[in-house]
Chain A
Amino acid sequence: MGLDEQELIRGCKAGDKSCMEMLFRSHVDSAVRLAFSITRNWATAEDAVQEAFIQAFRSIGTFQEGKPFKPWLAKIVVNKSRRIGAKFGVSWDELDPNQPNDTDDGTPERLLMEKEDKTRLMQAINLLGEKHRLPLILKYLSGLSEAETSEVLGVPITTVKSRLYVARRQLAEKLALLEGSEQRGKA
Protein backbone atom coordinates (compact mmCIF):
# COMPACT_ATOMS: atom_id res chain seq x y z
CA MET A 1 0.00 0.00 0.00
CA GLY A 2 2.93 2.33 0.57
CA LEU A 3 1.35 4.61 3.14
CA ASP A 4 0.55 3.46 6.65
CA GLU A 5 -2.85 4.09 8.20
CA GLN A 6 -1.85 7.22 10.09
CA GLU A 7 -0.39 8.74 6.93
CA LEU A 8 -3.63 7.90 5.13
CA ILE A 9 -5.61 9.60 7.87
CA ARG A 10 -3.47 12.71 7.62
CA GLY A 11 -4.06 12.65 3.86
CA CYS A 12 -7.82 12.31 4.42
CA LYS A 13 -7.74 15.27 6.79
CA ALA A 14 -6.06 17.25 4.04
CA GLY A 15 -8.89 16.24 1.68
CA ASP A 16 -6.80 13.81 -0.41
CA LYS A 17 -9.28 11.55 -2.23
CA SER A 18 -6.70 8.88 -3.04
CA CYS A 19 -5.98 8.49 0.69
CA MET A 20 -9.71 8.24 1.35
CA GLU A 21 -10.03 5.57 -1.31
CA MET A 22 -7.14 3.56 0.11
CA LEU A 23 -8.56 3.79 3.62
CA PHE A 24 -11.99 2.80 2.28
CA ARG A 25 -10.60 -0.21 0.41
CA SER A 26 -8.65 -1.44 3.40
CA HIS A 27 -11.68 -1.33 5.72
CA VAL A 28 -14.69 -1.93 3.49
CA ASP A 29 -14.68 -5.73 3.77
CA SER A 30 -14.72 -5.70 7.54
CA ALA A 31 -17.26 -2.85 7.62
CA VAL A 32 -19.68 -4.64 5.29
CA ARG A 33 -19.38 -7.88 7.26
CA LEU A 34 -20.17 -5.98 10.43
CA ALA A 35 -23.11 -4.13 8.86
CA PHE A 36 -24.46 -7.33 7.33
CA SER A 37 -24.28 -9.12 10.65
CA ILE A 38 -26.51 -6.36 12.09
CA THR A 39 -28.89 -5.69 9.19
CA ARG A 40 -28.97 -9.23 7.73
CA ASN A 41 -29.44 -7.76 4.29
CA TRP A 42 -26.72 -7.00 1.74
CA ALA A 43 -28.39 -3.94 0.22
CA THR A 44 -29.08 -2.45 3.65
CA ALA A 45 -25.58 -3.27 4.82
CA GLU A 46 -24.16 -1.59 1.73
CA ASP A 47 -26.23 1.54 2.37
CA ALA A 48 -25.18 1.62 6.01
CA VAL A 49 -21.49 1.26 5.11
CA GLN A 50 -21.69 3.93 2.42
CA GLU A 51 -23.30 6.32 4.87
CA ALA A 52 -20.76 5.39 7.51
CA PHE A 53 -17.79 6.15 5.24
CA ILE A 54 -19.33 9.43 4.12
CA GLN A 55 -19.86 10.45 7.74
CA ALA A 56 -16.37 9.25 8.68
CA PHE A 57 -14.67 11.24 5.91
CA ARG A 58 -16.77 14.33 6.60
CA SER A 59 -15.86 14.26 10.25
CA ILE A 60 -12.31 12.91 9.88
CA GLY A 61 -11.11 16.24 11.26
CA THR A 62 -12.39 15.17 14.68
CA PHE A 63 -10.53 11.84 14.54
CA GLN A 64 -7.72 11.70 17.04
CA GLU A 65 -4.48 10.90 15.24
CA GLY A 66 -2.46 8.01 16.60
CA LYS A 67 -5.56 6.00 17.41
CA PRO A 68 -6.62 3.01 15.28
CA PHE A 69 -9.21 3.84 12.65
CA LYS A 70 -11.08 0.53 12.79
CA PRO A 71 -12.88 0.95 16.17
CA TRP A 72 -13.86 4.52 15.27
CA LEU A 73 -15.30 3.36 11.95
CA ALA A 74 -16.93 0.33 13.62
CA LYS A 75 -18.79 2.64 15.98
CA ILE A 76 -20.18 4.63 13.05
CA VAL A 77 -21.05 1.44 11.14
CA VAL A 78 -22.87 -0.01 14.16
CA ASN A 79 -24.88 3.20 14.60
CA LYS A 80 -25.77 3.46 10.92
CA SER A 81 -26.69 -0.22 10.69
CA ARG A 82 -28.86 -0.05 13.79
CA ARG A 83 -30.62 3.03 12.47
CA ILE A 84 -31.17 1.69 8.98
CA GLY A 85 -32.08 -1.74 10.35
CA ALA A 86 -34.64 -0.11 12.65
CA LYS A 87 -36.04 1.92 9.75
CA PHE A 88 -36.64 -1.21 7.68
CA GLY A 89 -37.90 -3.22 10.64
CA VAL A 90 -35.16 -5.85 10.53
CA SER A 91 -34.96 -7.70 13.78
CA TRP A 92 -32.50 -10.47 14.40
CA ASP A 93 -34.52 -11.61 17.31
CA GLU A 94 -37.25 -12.69 14.91
CA LEU A 95 -34.92 -14.88 12.89
CA ASP A 96 -36.14 -18.33 12.13
CA PRO A 97 -33.65 -20.83 13.56
CA ASN A 98 -34.59 -23.24 10.78
CA GLN A 99 -33.89 -20.69 8.07
CA PRO A 100 -32.23 -22.56 5.20
CA ASN A 101 -28.59 -21.84 4.52
CA ASP A 102 -27.79 -20.90 0.91
CA THR A 103 -24.08 -21.63 1.07
CA ASP A 104 -24.25 -25.40 0.48
CA ASP A 105 -22.27 -26.10 -2.65
CA GLY A 106 -21.63 -29.84 -2.75
CA THR A 107 -18.35 -30.05 -0.81
CA PRO A 108 -16.98 -33.39 0.45
CA GLU A 109 -18.83 -34.95 3.38
CA ARG A 110 -16.44 -33.83 6.11
CA LEU A 111 -16.39 -30.28 4.87
CA LEU A 112 -20.15 -30.38 4.55
CA MET A 113 -20.46 -31.48 8.16
CA GLU A 114 -18.14 -28.70 9.24
CA LYS A 115 -20.21 -26.25 7.26
CA GLU A 116 -23.38 -27.58 8.88
CA ASP A 117 -21.80 -27.06 12.30
CA LYS A 118 -20.88 -23.50 11.38
CA THR A 119 -24.38 -22.89 10.06
CA ARG A 120 -25.90 -24.21 13.28
CA LEU A 121 -23.51 -22.03 15.28
CA MET A 122 -24.46 -19.02 13.16
CA GLN A 123 -28.13 -19.77 13.79
CA ALA A 124 -27.36 -19.88 17.51
CA ILE A 125 -25.55 -16.53 17.25
CA ASN A 126 -28.55 -15.08 15.42
CA LEU A 127 -30.79 -16.22 18.25
CA LEU A 128 -28.87 -14.17 20.81
CA GLY A 129 -30.26 -10.80 21.82
CA GLU A 130 -28.42 -7.77 20.45
CA LYS A 131 -26.88 -7.03 23.85
CA HIS A 132 -24.93 -10.26 23.74
CA ARG A 133 -24.59 -10.69 20.00
CA LEU A 134 -22.91 -7.36 19.24
CA PRO A 135 -19.89 -7.80 21.53
CA LEU A 136 -19.42 -11.25 20.02
CA ILE A 137 -19.50 -9.86 16.48
CA LEU A 138 -17.17 -6.97 17.30
CA LYS A 139 -14.67 -9.27 18.96
CA TYR A 140 -14.71 -12.27 16.63
CA LEU A 141 -15.75 -10.75 13.31
CA SER A 142 -14.27 -7.26 13.47
CA GLY A 143 -11.29 -8.41 15.51
CA LEU A 144 -11.60 -5.62 18.07
CA SER A 145 -10.09 -5.94 21.51
CA GLU A 146 -12.39 -5.95 24.53
CA ALA A 147 -11.28 -2.37 25.30
CA GLU A 148 -12.10 -1.27 21.75
CA THR A 149 -15.44 -3.11 21.90
CA SER A 150 -16.28 -1.30 25.12
CA GLU A 151 -15.50 2.01 23.40
CA VAL A 152 -17.69 1.16 20.41
CA LEU A 153 -20.63 0.09 22.57
CA GLY A 154 -20.13 2.82 25.14
CA VAL A 155 -20.10 0.38 28.06
CA PRO A 156 -17.37 -0.45 30.59
CA ILE A 157 -14.88 -3.16 29.70
CA THR A 158 -16.15 -5.31 32.58
CA THR A 159 -19.61 -5.22 30.98
CA VAL A 160 -18.12 -6.36 27.67
CA LYS A 161 -16.34 -9.24 29.41
CA SER A 162 -19.48 -10.31 31.22
CA ARG A 163 -21.61 -10.01 28.07
CA LEU A 164 -19.12 -12.14 26.15
CA TYR A 165 -19.16 -14.73 28.91
CA VAL A 166 -22.96 -14.82 29.00
CA ALA A 167 -23.10 -14.85 25.19
CA ARG A 168 -20.98 -17.99 25.02
CA ARG A 169 -23.02 -19.72 27.73
CA GLN A 170 -26.19 -18.80 25.84
CA LEU A 171 -24.66 -20.08 22.61
CA ALA A 172 -24.19 -23.47 24.25
CA GLU A 173 -27.84 -23.48 25.32
CA LYS A 174 -29.06 -22.42 21.87
CA LEU A 175 -26.87 -25.03 20.19
CA ALA A 176 -28.30 -27.73 22.47
CA LEU A 177 -31.81 -26.58 21.60
CA LEU A 178 -31.07 -26.51 17.87
CA GLU A 179 -29.45 -29.95 18.01
CA GLY A 180 -32.40 -31.29 19.95
CA SER A 181 -34.91 -29.94 17.48
CA GLU A 182 -32.90 -31.36 14.55
CA GLN A 183 -32.83 -34.80 16.17
CA ARG A 184 -36.56 -34.63 16.84
CA GLY A 185 -37.03 -33.65 13.20
CA LYS A 186 -35.06 -36.67 11.99
CA ALA A 187 -36.88 -39.09 14.31
Chain B
Amino acid sequence: MEKHDRMVPSDKQIRSALMLHTEVNIDVDRMWENIEAKLDAKPTRRWQPWLGVGTAAAVLFMIVLLNWQSPPHPPEQLMTEEPQIMRFSAIEPLSAAAEVVGTELFLMLTAHQDLEIGPGPTVVEVLEANTLTTAASTATLELSGSKLMAGETAELRLEMALPAKGGHYQVRVQLELYTAEAPEEVSIFAPLIMK
Protein backbone atom coordinates (compact mmCIF):
# COMPACT_ATOMS: atom_id res chain seq x y z
CA MET B 1 0.00 0.00 0.00
CA GLU B 2 2.86 2.36 0.90
CA LYS B 3 4.53 1.51 -2.37
CA HIS B 4 1.27 2.34 -4.16
CA ASP B 5 1.09 5.69 -2.36
CA ARG B 6 4.53 6.55 -3.67
CA MET B 7 3.41 5.71 -7.18
CA VAL B 8 0.34 7.98 -7.25
CA PRO B 9 1.15 10.13 -10.28
CA SER B 10 1.05 13.91 -10.05
CA ASP B 11 -1.36 16.11 -12.01
CA LYS B 12 1.50 17.18 -14.25
CA GLN B 13 2.53 13.58 -14.98
CA ILE B 14 -1.03 12.55 -15.88
CA ARG B 15 -1.53 15.60 -18.10
CA SER B 16 1.81 15.09 -19.79
CA ALA B 17 1.19 11.37 -20.49
CA LEU B 18 -2.24 12.09 -21.94
CA MET B 19 -0.94 14.91 -24.13
CA LEU B 20 1.96 12.82 -25.44
CA HIS B 21 -0.23 9.89 -26.38
CA THR B 22 -3.01 11.86 -28.07
CA GLU B 23 -0.89 14.03 -30.33
CA VAL B 24 -3.26 15.09 -33.07
CA ASN B 25 -2.49 13.53 -36.39
CA ILE B 26 -5.33 14.63 -38.65
CA ASP B 27 -5.96 16.86 -41.63
CA VAL B 28 -7.93 19.73 -40.11
CA ASP B 29 -8.62 21.41 -43.48
CA ARG B 30 -10.12 18.24 -44.93
CA MET B 31 -12.19 17.76 -41.79
CA TRP B 32 -13.60 21.26 -42.06
CA GLU B 33 -14.41 20.73 -45.75
CA ASN B 34 -16.36 17.58 -44.82
CA ILE B 35 -18.22 19.36 -42.03
CA GLU B 36 -19.02 22.34 -44.23
CA ALA B 37 -20.30 20.07 -47.00
CA LYS B 38 -22.55 18.20 -44.56
CA LEU B 39 -23.83 21.43 -43.06
CA ASP B 40 -24.73 22.67 -46.53
CA ALA B 41 -26.49 19.42 -47.39
CA LYS B 42 -30.10 18.95 -46.34
CA PRO B 43 -30.38 16.80 -43.23
CA THR B 44 -31.02 13.14 -44.01
CA ARG B 45 -34.61 12.17 -43.53
CA ARG B 46 -34.90 8.49 -43.01
CA TRP B 47 -38.62 8.64 -42.48
CA GLN B 48 -41.06 8.48 -45.34
CA PRO B 49 -41.98 11.81 -46.94
CA TRP B 50 -45.72 11.34 -46.42
CA LEU B 51 -45.26 11.37 -42.66
CA GLY B 52 -46.34 15.01 -42.39
CA VAL B 53 -49.62 14.36 -44.15
CA GLY B 54 -50.13 11.17 -42.17
CA THR B 55 -49.48 12.96 -38.89
CA ALA B 56 -51.91 15.75 -39.70
CA ALA B 57 -54.55 13.16 -40.64
CA ALA B 58 -53.89 11.18 -37.47
CA VAL B 59 -54.10 14.28 -35.27
CA LEU B 60 -57.35 15.29 -36.97
CA PHE B 61 -58.68 11.77 -36.48
CA MET B 62 -57.78 11.87 -32.78
CA ILE B 63 -59.47 15.24 -32.34
CA VAL B 64 -62.64 14.01 -34.07
CA LEU B 65 -62.58 10.78 -32.08
CA LEU B 66 -62.10 12.53 -28.75
CA ASN B 67 -64.86 15.05 -29.45
CA TRP B 68 -67.28 12.59 -30.94
CA GLN B 69 -67.16 9.81 -28.38
CA SER B 70 -67.20 10.83 -24.79
CA PRO B 71 -65.09 8.09 -23.17
CA PRO B 72 -66.15 6.67 -19.81
CA HIS B 73 -64.81 8.62 -16.85
CA PRO B 74 -61.46 7.23 -15.80
CA PRO B 75 -61.16 5.82 -12.31
CA GLU B 76 -60.10 8.19 -9.53
CA GLN B 77 -56.56 6.81 -9.46
CA LEU B 78 -56.03 7.69 -13.13
CA MET B 79 -57.03 11.25 -12.43
CA THR B 80 -54.28 11.52 -9.85
CA GLU B 81 -51.67 10.04 -12.17
CA GLU B 82 -52.51 12.13 -15.21
CA PRO B 83 -50.53 15.25 -14.25
CA GLN B 84 -47.41 13.11 -13.82
CA ILE B 85 -47.79 11.76 -17.35
CA MET B 86 -48.42 15.25 -18.68
CA ARG B 87 -45.26 16.43 -17.00
CA PHE B 88 -43.24 13.64 -18.63
CA SER B 89 -44.57 14.64 -22.02
CA ALA B 90 -43.81 18.30 -21.49
CA ILE B 91 -40.15 17.90 -20.64
CA GLU B 92 -39.16 15.04 -22.92
CA PRO B 93 -37.49 15.77 -26.24
CA LEU B 94 -39.86 13.23 -27.78
CA SER B 95 -43.59 12.68 -27.30
CA ALA B 96 -45.83 9.84 -28.38
CA ALA B 97 -49.41 9.29 -29.49
CA ALA B 98 -50.94 5.84 -29.93
CA GLU B 99 -54.08 4.30 -31.34
CA VAL B 100 -55.25 0.92 -32.51
CA VAL B 101 -55.74 0.47 -36.23
CA GLY B 102 -57.22 -2.93 -37.07
CA THR B 103 -55.11 -5.38 -35.14
CA GLU B 104 -52.05 -3.14 -35.04
CA LEU B 105 -50.81 -0.52 -32.66
CA PHE B 106 -50.23 2.73 -34.54
CA LEU B 107 -47.53 4.74 -32.77
CA MET B 108 -46.49 8.29 -33.62
CA LEU B 109 -43.26 9.66 -32.18
CA THR B 110 -42.80 13.43 -32.49
CA ALA B 111 -39.44 15.07 -31.82
CA HIS B 112 -39.37 18.41 -30.01
CA GLN B 113 -35.69 18.93 -30.74
CA ASP B 114 -33.16 17.37 -33.12
CA LEU B 115 -32.37 13.91 -31.84
CA GLU B 116 -31.04 10.52 -32.71
CA ILE B 117 -32.20 7.21 -31.29
CA GLY B 118 -29.45 5.37 -29.45
CA PRO B 119 -28.11 1.86 -29.97
CA GLY B 120 -30.33 0.09 -27.45
CA PRO B 121 -33.65 -1.52 -28.40
CA THR B 122 -36.85 0.52 -28.22
CA VAL B 123 -39.32 -1.22 -25.96
CA VAL B 124 -43.05 -0.64 -26.36
CA GLU B 125 -45.40 -1.79 -23.63
CA VAL B 126 -49.14 -1.43 -23.07
CA LEU B 127 -49.91 -0.69 -19.42
CA GLU B 128 -53.09 -0.60 -17.38
CA ALA B 129 -53.92 3.08 -17.04
CA ASN B 130 -54.76 2.97 -13.37
CA THR B 131 -52.01 0.69 -12.07
CA LEU B 132 -49.34 1.14 -14.76
CA THR B 133 -48.80 -2.63 -14.76
CA THR B 134 -48.29 -4.54 -17.98
CA ALA B 135 -51.59 -5.20 -19.71
CA ALA B 136 -50.36 -6.98 -22.84
CA SER B 137 -47.18 -8.29 -24.39
CA THR B 138 -44.14 -6.13 -24.92
CA ALA B 139 -42.73 -5.32 -28.35
CA THR B 140 -39.14 -4.48 -29.16
CA LEU B 141 -38.19 -2.27 -32.09
CA GLU B 142 -34.86 -1.68 -33.76
CA LEU B 143 -34.69 2.07 -34.34
CA SER B 144 -31.05 2.66 -33.46
CA GLY B 145 -29.42 5.42 -35.47
CA SER B 146 -32.76 6.85 -36.66
CA LYS B 147 -32.72 10.63 -36.68
CA LEU B 148 -35.61 13.01 -36.19
CA MET B 149 -35.49 16.75 -36.68
CA ALA B 150 -37.41 19.03 -34.33
CA GLY B 151 -41.10 18.86 -35.26
CA GLU B 152 -40.70 15.69 -37.28
CA THR B 153 -42.96 12.69 -36.59
CA ALA B 154 -42.23 9.02 -37.14
CA GLU B 155 -45.16 6.68 -37.63
CA LEU B 156 -44.79 3.08 -36.67
CA ARG B 157 -47.21 0.18 -36.97
CA LEU B 158 -46.66 -2.63 -34.52
CA GLU B 159 -48.14 -6.08 -34.63
CA MET B 160 -48.35 -6.98 -30.98
CA ALA B 161 -50.85 -8.59 -28.66
CA LEU B 162 -53.19 -5.86 -27.45
CA PRO B 163 -55.48 -5.95 -24.41
CA ALA B 164 -58.68 -7.83 -25.17
CA LYS B 165 -60.72 -5.69 -22.79
CA GLY B 166 -61.93 -2.23 -23.78
CA GLY B 167 -60.94 0.77 -21.67
CA HIS B 168 -58.13 3.19 -20.96
CA TYR B 169 -54.48 2.18 -21.19
CA GLN B 170 -51.09 3.82 -21.39
CA VAL B 171 -48.49 2.92 -23.99
CA ARG B 172 -44.98 3.26 -22.60
CA VAL B 173 -42.08 3.66 -25.04
CA GLN B 174 -38.62 3.20 -23.52
CA LEU B 175 -35.65 4.21 -25.62
CA GLU B 176 -32.26 5.84 -25.58
CA LEU B 177 -31.98 9.29 -27.13
CA TYR B 178 -29.03 11.33 -28.22
CA THR B 179 -29.77 15.02 -28.17
CA ALA B 180 -27.45 18.01 -28.23
CA GLU B 181 -27.25 17.80 -24.44
CA ALA B 182 -26.53 14.19 -23.68
CA PRO B 183 -27.58 10.58 -24.22
CA GLU B 184 -30.50 9.71 -22.02
CA GLU B 185 -32.80 6.82 -21.35
CA VAL B 186 -36.35 8.07 -21.61
CA SER B 187 -39.78 6.60 -21.00
CA ILE B 188 -42.59 8.37 -22.80
CA PHE B 189 -46.26 7.67 -22.38
CA ALA B 190 -49.20 7.88 -24.73
CA PRO B 191 -52.82 7.30 -23.72
CA LEU B 192 -54.57 4.48 -25.55
CA ILE B 193 -58.29 3.82 -25.71
CA MET B 194 -59.37 0.29 -26.56
CA LYS B 195 -62.97 0.04 -27.75
Query: Which residues in A have some Cβ–Cβ distance to B below 8 Å?
Result: 17, 20-21, 24-25, 28-29, 32-34, 36-37, 42, 45-46, 49-50, 53-59, 62-63, 75-76, 79, 82-83, 86-87, 101, 103, 115, 117-119, 121-122, 124-125, 136-137, 140-141, 154, 168-169, 171-173, 175-176, 179
**How distant is the Cα of A127 from the Cα of B32 in the complex, in angstroms?**
33
**How distant is the Cα of A24 from the Cα of B36 in the complex, in angstroms?**
11
| Residue contacts A-B, CB under 8 angstroms, 15 given | A17-B39, A46-B31, A50-B31, A79-B182, A83-B183, A117-B17, A121-B14, A121-B17, A125-B18, A141-B15, A169-B4, A172-B6, A172-B7, A172-B8, A176-B4
**How distant is the Cα of A33 from the Cα of B28 in the complex, in angstroms?**
13
**How distant is the Cα of A46 from the Cα of B183 in the complex, in angstroms?**
20
- A172→B21 contact, CB < 8 A: no
- B38→A141 contact, CB < 8 A: no
**Counting CB contacts under 8 A, is B11 at the interface?**
yes
Chain B residue with the shortest CB-CB distance to A171: B9
**How distant is the Cα of A57 from the Cα of B40 in the complex, in angstroms?**
11
**Counting CB contacts under 8 A, is B19 at the interface?**
yes
* A83 partner residues in chain B, CB cutoff 8 A: 118-119, 178, 183
State the 3 A-B residue pairs at the shortest beta-carbon distance, nearest first. Answer: A59-B180, A33-B22, A121-B17
- A29→B9 contact, CB < 8 A: no
**Counting CB contacts under 8 A, is B181 at the interface?**
yes
Chain B residue with the shortest CB-CB distance to A153: B182
* A76 partner residues in chain B, CB cutoff 8 A: 180
Contact partner of B8 (CB less than 8 A), chosen from A25, A63, A115, A168, is A168
- B18→A137 contact, CB < 8 A: yes
- A176→B7 contact, CB < 8 A: yes
A54-B35, A62-B180, A172-B9 known; A32-B14 Cβ under 8 A: no
